[in-house]
Amino acid sequence: MDPASAADQELVTRVTAGDQAALDELYRRHSRPVYSLALHILRDPATAEDVTQEVFLKLWRQSESYVPERGALGSWLLSVAHNRAIDVVRRRRLREEYRLPGSQEVGDVVADGSIDPGDAAGIAEMARTVRSALERIPPAQRQAIEMAFFQGKTHVEISDELGEPLGTAKTRIRLGMRKLRSLLEAEGVEV
Amino acid sequence: MAECADIQELLPLYALDALPTETQEEVELHLETCAVCRAAADVELAAVSRLALAVPQFDPSPALRERILGATRLREVEPLRPPASMPVPLAAIRQRRGVRQVPFYWVAVAALVPLMLTAWLGTQVMSLRRSVEATVASEQRALASAEVAADIIGRGLHSGTGGGTAQVVGTDMAPDASGMLYYASNQPEGVLTVAGLPSLPKGQCYQLWLIQNDQWMDGGTFYEGEGKGMLIVKAPMPLSSIDMIRVTMEPHGGSPEPRGNRYLWARLKSS
């Protein structure tokens, strides 16, 4: 276990014991990626904040739901945020074109003291690596993956929307994910 | 082994949650009993989890941290319950809202609704009248609100278009708060009544937001007295077309957009 994960685990143990300062510290470490993912999926800052709040209150109230053996805390928080945001999207039956609201990127963010700058740098670096890998996937494969992950669409919906045979949509997702894995591994990212 | 090959073909889609529900469940069933496929699925899930970082990074507002930490200082949210001041029969009606195919019952209920609402509003008016007798100009305005509320609901119920109610629930910032929004179908007016709200700090008010297609519109401001508040809602469109309402705490006079913590919410339309 790397030092950051070990520190997270210790904080989770304190959260389980009702230590609010530990939750605050975990919020400093992880709120930015959690909120960013929710915002990217939902495109609405207020709802993205609601989802972020749900994620951290779930950690506060049900920290035993996180099983360290199954992965890092950051991944778990993102997974909870993703599931919740996709639930919202599916309920809304969002079908409009995907577009981010105008706002500043991490590099332009003015620190407000609530987000840990050291963690932000590490997350920004990882985000750049993953984005770069995603951009190197053939566009049709990337599109299918993004429709599934960020818009919560099934391969049936993707094939309908793109007007392509079901098998083509499946193949694009499969090949795209294989390519993504190999690119991330080449960059030294554990997958 | 043929089955494993089939399952492993589907794992990238499974990890992305891009399979139809039935197929997703079939894969999960298989993974529970097959360590080889489980290991392959974990690899796919790890890759998919990295996608979550492939988004531009933004900071949430500083207020969110306070909101979350504030919520941890409060006790757990209690299960939804009707407002303490509501007559029991109306609560029973609400609990049965999901029930279908009980026409006779509904006819009886429909006939009782105006009577119960009138009785309840009468209680509210009497209670407020007693407060007014204890003087204070703000309470005189509250009495006027109660009477307008009765008028709006009365018109809605007797116009033949029917009316709607939405149970208002407190957030973690106001776990004891609850209330109702009453509105007449096809009317842009309604009445919000709440109880159990935290006392307002000096210079603050509660502000109602009407949310439609993720657009937040000002629904008016109100103040609480002993935790209770009432607001005559005047919307730019029929309230039955609003998706959701929320109540935030804002500076006196209200804000052009929501900035404060959220204390109440209700869903009007099922989405």
For residues B224 and B250, state if they share a domain.
Answer: yes
What value does the mean pLDDT of chain A take? 83
Strand pairing report for B189-195 and B215-222: unpaired
Taking the C-alpha atoms of residue B237 and residue B250, their distance in angstroms, rounded to an integer, is 24
Residue in chain A closest to B262 (alpha carbons) equals A50
Q: In chain A, what residues touch B172 (CB-CB under 8 Å)? A: 57
- CB within 8 Å: A49 and B61: yes
Residues B25 and B102 occupy one common structural domain: no
What average pLDDT does range A165-173 have in this prediction? 94
* Pair B223, B138 in one domain: yes
Q: Residue B149 has what pLDDT?
A: 60
Chunked into runs of 10 residues, chain B (271 residues) has average pLDDT values of 82 92 90 92 88 87 89 53 38 38 54 65 62 48 55 57 77 87 77 88 88 88 83 83 91 86 83 38
For an interface test with A, give the residue of B43, B50, B61, B173 to mutate (most A CBs within 10 A).
B50
In the predicted model, is pLDDT for residue A21 greater than 90? Answer: yes
**Quick check: A177 and B172 CB within 8 A?**
no
Contacts of residue B58 in chain A, CB cutoff 8 Å? 32, 35-36, 39, 103-106, 109
Round to whole Å and give the CA distance between B170 and B174.
5
Under an 8 A CB cutoff, do B52 and A105 touch?
no
How many domains are there within chain B? 2
Q: Residue A146 pLDDT > 90, yes or no?
A: yes
Assess if residue B56 is contained within a domain.
no
Contact assignment for B12 to A174 by CB distance below 8 Å: yes
Q: What value does the mean pLDDT take over residues A72-96?
A: 82
The answer on B78 and B124 residing in a single domain is yes
> A63 to chain B nearest CA, in Å?
13
Q: B262-267 and B204-212: which strand pairing?
A: unpaired
ipTM: 0.79
Residue A11 has pLDDT above 70, yes or no: yes
Residues B159 and B34 in one domain: no
Give the Cα separation of B200 and B205 in Å (integer).
Answer: 7
pTM over 0.80: no
Q: Are residues B186 and B117 in the same domain?
A: yes
Bridge partners, B163 (sequence order): B184
Closest to A25 (Cα-Cα) out of A45, A2, A8 = A8
Nearest to A124 among B9, B57, B64 (CB): B57
In a domain, B176, yes or no: yes
pLDDT of residue A106: 36
Instruction: State which residue of chain A sits closest to B20, comparing Cα positions.
Output: A154
DSSP conformational letter for B177: -
What pLDDT is attached to residue B102? 45
Q: Is residue B109 part of a domain?
A: yes
Residue in A124, A170, A191 nearest the CB of B43: A191
**Is there a common fold for A1-94 and A116-191?**
no
Beta strands in A55-156 (DSSP E): none
Q: Tell me: do B196 and B249 sit in the same domain.
A: yes
Residues B235 and B156 in one domain: yes
Which structure tokens are listed for B180?
Answer: 């109702």
Strands across the sheet containing B229-234? B215-222, B204-212, B244-251, B262-267, B163-170, B178-184, B189-195, B229-234
Domain covering A116-191, topology: Arc Repressor Mutant, subunit A (1.10.10)
Report the SS3 class of residue B255. Answer: coil
Joined together, the tokens standing for residue B123 give: 């209680």
Whether residues B254 and B191 share a domain: the answer is yes
The residue range of the domain holding B124 is: 62-267
Q: Give me the CATH code for the A1-94 domain, please.
A: 1.10.1740.10
The residue ranges of every structural domain in chain A are 1-94, 116-191
Are the beta carbons of B43 and A170 separated by less than 8 Å? no
Domain boundary among B12, B32, B51: B51
Same domain, residue pair B6 and B110: no
Verify that B94 and B33 share a domain, yes or no.
no
- B262-267 and B244-251: which strand pairing? antiparallel
Residue B262 falls inside a structural domain: yes
Cβ-Cβ pairs closer than 8 A, A with B, add up to 165
Residues B20, B136 within the same domain: no
